């Protein structure tokens, strides 16, 4: 499809972020007969692209369906690969005009004529900026802007990673996994089964309550049998080549263990920088951008939010299952005849 630019008139909606919830917002707008451009700094569904390669979703496929387009999977829950196929298909089916590998750097203007400044992410620092005009904006930039850092000496070493894709690179290595959530537990189990010596380090005294009920017993059994070492009530306090120092929360006692890699799977956080620049207040405590949950509109007229960005710091509150409806709420709040 053609790409409107600063010389064209404004499109009805510019959606920033081509994750599942940005795509869902685009599909809802297209279904209502509106012009939409979806912009993303990476590929379609960049967050899912970065997920562990062999993960399966916890949601059954019908709970991820967009605008009623059937999602058929071979097993009871989709694999990462099936989800990527599905979201490509949704994008094609609704003929979404996507601008991929274009980072939105700033937004100016007001309802009826927002100017969205973008820059190609693959063309180097000298790439010219482009301008897209839109009557309304949906910010669906997700919650994966930066990892929650450990903030300890040595975190900058190349052996420290903040995300996990597959076990193979860690075969026959001593790996500390930091965290007690699904990501940490599933990575630990997958690596243990691939011949990795895993030590799970978590500041709490037990695994997070959110760990999937069918995964938890497997992990607890591995820990009980000593197949995966677990240091509950501990934090990593220093990372050095070949070693990691752990500190016990209760009394501050330290211990040093042999270590080749640290996987800090401690979650990611959103950065609602575009919204702040537009003047949308963001609650300092919760990280939630001000918005009306019925319409998803922020206090700045014509600026909406969708997806996990609306959850602030608590990314477990909104996910695809519920964030996929935000676009519909936005579109339903605007009589189509009055869009422009
Ligand atoms: C391992 C794992 C398993 C999961 N399983 C499930 C499940 O079974 N069911 C479920 O419902 N949820 C699941 N989730 C959660 C779900 O993936 C997220 O809630 C979902 O991705 C949120 O979608 P989103 O569109 O809001 O944000 P995202 O998917 O994060 O998309 C945001 C997009 O915005 C883009 N972006 C950010 N800033 C800019 C910018 N300045 N300019 C242009 N583009 C920008 C990013 O590149 C990204 O593509 C899982 C998450 C993980 C980590």
Taking only the tens place, the pLDDT of each residue in 73-119 is: 999 999 999 999 999 999 999 999 999 999 999 999 999 999 999 99
Q: Decide if 340 contacts 112 (C-beta within 8 A).
A: yes
Boundary residue ending a domain (212, 236, 264)? 264
Say if residue 228 is in the same domain as residue 243: yes
- For 30, what's the count of Cα atoms within 13 Å in the CB-facing half-sphere? 21
Residues enclosing ligand 1, CB less than 6 A?
16-22, 39-42, 46-47, 51, 55, 57-59, 103-104, 140-144, 183, 307-309, 319-321, 323
Find the CATH number of the domain harbouring 249. Answer: 3.50.50.60
User: Distance between CA 155 and CA 111 in Å, rounded?
Assistant: 43
pLDDT of residue 7: 52
User: Distance between CA 209 and CA 216 in Å, rounded?
Assistant: 9
By mean pLDDT, which of 139-143, 153-157, 172-176, 315-319 is the weakest? 315-319
Say if residue 159 is in the same domain as residue 139: no
For the chain, what is the mean pLDDT?
A: 95
State CA 322 to chain mean position distance: 14
**Do the domain assignments include residue 18?**
yes
User: Distance between CA 152 and CA 38 in Å, rounded?
Assistant: 38
Say if residue 33 is in the same domain as residue 108: yes
- Is pLDDT above 80 for 209? yes
User: What percent of the chain is predicted at pLDDT more than 90?
Assistant: 91
Say if residue 260 is in the same domain as residue 280: no
Task: Report helix, strand or coil for 332.
Answer: helix
Q: How far is CA 42 from CA 16, 51, 120, in A?
A: 11, 14, 10
Q: Which of the four pLDDT bands, split at 50, 70 and 90, describes residue 315? A: confident
**Do the domain assignments include residue 154?**
yes
**Do the domain assignments include residue 6?**
no
Place of tokens 């001000």: 290
Say if residue 102 is in the same domain as residue 200: no
Taking only the tens place, the pLDDT of each residue in 147-190 is: 999 999 999 999 999 999 999 999 999 999 999 999 999 999 99
For the chain, how long is the longest CA-to-CA vector? 67
Say if residue 35 is in the same domain as residue 114: yes
pLDDT of residue 335: 77
Say if residue 135 is in the same domain as residue 155: no
Say if residue 293 is in the same domain as residue 211: no
Number of domains comprising the chain? 2
**Do the domain assignments include residue 2?**
no
pLDDT of residue 227: 98
Residue 287 DSSP one-character state: -
> How far away, in angstroms, is 45 Cα from ligand 1 center?
7
Taking only the tens place, the pLDDT of each residue in 256-312 is: 999 999 999 999 988 899 999 999 999 999 999 999 999 999 999 999 999 999 999
pLDDT of residue 5: 52
- Is pLDDT above 60 for 18? yes
**Do the domain assignments include residue 52?**
yes
Task: Report helix, strand or coil for 183.
Answer: helix
pLDDT of residue 4: 46
Boundary residue ending a domain (232, 248, 264)? 264
Closest CA to 93 of 138, 44, 20, 30: 30
**Do the domain assignments include residue 190?**
yes
Boundary residue ending a domain (209, 232, 264)? 264
pLDDT of residue 314: 87
pLDDT of residue 316: 83
> How far away, in angstroms, is 250 Cα from ligand 1 center?
36
Say if residue 15 is in the same domain as residue 126: yes
**Do the domain assignments include residue 5?**
no
Structural domain containing residue 238: 149-264
pLDDT of residue 340: 54
User: Distance between CA 242 and CA 52 in Å, rounded?
Assistant: 25
Say if residue 237 is in the same domain as residue 321: no
Q: Which of 41, 139, 181, 210 most suits a substitution to test ligand 1, by most atoms within 8 Å of the C-beta?
A: 41
Say if residue 196 is in the same domain as residue 231: yes
Q: Which of 142, 210, 265, 312 most suits a substitution to test ligand 1, by most atoms within 8 Å of the C-beta?
A: 142
Structure-token pair, residue 24: 């869902």
Q: What is the pTM of this model?
A: 0.94
Q: Which of the four pLDDT bands, split at 50, 70 and 90, describes residue 337? A: very low
User: Distance between CA 299 and CA 9 in Å, rounded?
Assistant: 25
pLDDT of residue 339: 56
Say if residue 197 is in the same domain as residue 291: no
- For 56, what's the count of Cα atoms within 13 Å in the CB-facing half-sphere? 14
Q: What angle (nearest 5°) sits at the alpha carbon of residue 14, between those of residues 9 and 17?
A: 150
pLDDT of residue 2: 40
Q: Which of 47, 71, 134 most suits a substitution to test ligand 1, by most atoms within 8 Å of the C-beta?
A: 47
- For 145, what's the count of Cα atoms within 13 Å in the CB-facing half-sphere? 16
Q: Strand ranges (DSSP E) for the chain?
A: 11-16, 36-39, 97-99, 102-110, 113-120, 129-139, 146-147, 160-161, 174-178, 197-202, 229-232, 234-240, 243-248, 254-258, 261-264, 268-269, 303-305
**Phi/psi at 76 (5° precision):** -75, -25
């Amino acid at each position: 499809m053609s790409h409107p630019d600063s010389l064209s008139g404004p499109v009805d909606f510019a959606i920033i972020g081509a994750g599942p919830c940005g795509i869902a917002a685009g599909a809802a707008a297209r279904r209502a007969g509106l012009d939409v451009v979806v912009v993303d700094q990476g590929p379609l569904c960049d967050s899912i692209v970065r997920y562990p390669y062999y993960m399966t979703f916890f949601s059954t496929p019908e709970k991820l369906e967009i605008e009623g387009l059937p999602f058929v999977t071979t097993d009871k829950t989709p694999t990462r690969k099936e989800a990527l196929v599905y979201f490509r298909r949704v994008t094609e089916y609704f003929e979404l005009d996507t601008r991929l590998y274009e980072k939105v750097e700033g937004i100016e203007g007001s309802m009826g004529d927002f100017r969205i400044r973008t820059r190609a992410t693959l063309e180097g620092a000298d790439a010219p900026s482009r301008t897209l005009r839109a009557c309304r904006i949906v910010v669906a930039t997700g919650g994966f802007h930066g990892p929650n850092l450990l903030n300890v000496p040595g975190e900058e070493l190349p052996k420290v990673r903040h995300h996990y894709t597959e076990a193979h690179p860690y075969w026959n290595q001593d790996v500390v996994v930091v965290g007690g959530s699904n990501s940490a537990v599933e990575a630990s189990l997958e690596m243990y089964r691939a011949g990795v010596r895993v030590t799970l380090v978590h500041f709490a005294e037990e695994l997070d309550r959110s760990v999937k009920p069918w995964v938890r017993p497997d992990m607890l059994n591995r820990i009980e049998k000593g197949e995966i070492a677990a240091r509950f009530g501990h934090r990593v306090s220093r990372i050095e080549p070949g070693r990691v120092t752990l500190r016990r929360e209760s009394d501050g006692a330290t211990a040093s263990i042999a270590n080749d890699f640290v996987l800090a799977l401690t979650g990611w956080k959103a950065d609602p920088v575009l919204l702040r620049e537009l003047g949308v207040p963001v609650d300092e405590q919760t990280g939630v951008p001000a918005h009306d949950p019925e319409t998803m509109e922020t206090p700045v007229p014509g600026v909406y939010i969708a997806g996990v960005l609306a959850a602030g710091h608590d990314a477990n509150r909104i996910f695809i299952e519920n964030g996929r409806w935000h676009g519909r709420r936005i579109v339903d709040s605007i009589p189509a005849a009055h869009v422009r």
